[in-house]
Amino acid sequence: MEQCSTLDYLRKPKIWDMSIFDWATSILGAILIGYFILGLRSLSSYIIWIIIWTFIGIAIHYALGVNTMLGYYLGINPKPERKKC
């Protein structure tokens, strides 16, 4: 069995086979960029920004050929292989 990194252990908890850690850090990044760079202040603008941020992430993963579970659920890539820890 392959040695697991700290990141592998952080990514272990999942919902619908998608890492909670990855979603949480992505949403936190979107909030920080929205606040400090875009100057967003209202909840509705944050919701729209997080949706846009998600689509940007989907497009970047697709362009780079990185298979993700969200991409799999959307039908744009095959199911990603998971490392067994």
Could you tell me what percent of the chain has a pLDDT over 70? 99
**Is 36 inside any structural domain?**
yes
Q: Is the pLDDT of residue 85 over 80?
A: no
**Is 79 inside any structural domain?**
no
Residues 32-67: pLDDT tens digits? Answer: 999 999 999 999 999 999 999 999 999 999 999 999
Domain carrying residue 13: 6-74
Q: Tell me which residue of 10, 6, 3, 35 sits closest to 25, measured CA to CA.
A: 10
- Coil, strand or helix at 72: helix
**Is 60 inside any structural domain?**
yes
Whole-prediction pTM: 0.84
Residue 4: DSSP 8-state: P
**Is 27 inside any structural domain?**
yes
**Total structural domains within the chain:** 1
**Is 80 inside any structural domain?**
no
Residues 10-39: pLDDT tens digits? Answer: 999 999 999 999 999 999 999 999 999 999
pLDDT at 1: 61
